[in-house]
Amino acid sequence: MLAVAACLSLALAVAARADELPQGFVYLRDVAPSIVQDMRYAGPDNFTGKPVPGYGAAECVLQAAAAKALARAQVEAQRLGLSLKVYDCYRPVRAVRAFVAWAGAPEDGRTKHYYPRLNKSRLVPGYIASQSQHSTGFAVDLTIVPATAPGKADGDERDCTAPAAGDGSLSMGATFDCFDAKANTASPLATPAERKNRRLLLRIVEGAGFKNYAAEWWHFSYPGGGSRRYDFAIGPRPAP
Type and span of the H or E element at 146: strand 139-146
Q: Which residues of 107-119 are buried (b: 16+ CB within 10 A; e: fewer)?
A: eeeebebbbeeee
216 is catalytic: yes
Q: Where are the beta strands (DSSP E) in the chain?
A: 25-27, 36-37, 61-63, 82-88, 139-146, 211-212, 219-221
C-alpha–C-alpha distance, residues 135 and 41, integer Å:
14
How many residues in the chain?
240
Catalytic residue among 20, 107, 194, 216: 216
C-alpha–C-alpha distance, residues 47 and 31, integer Å:
29
Which residues are annotated as catalytic? 216
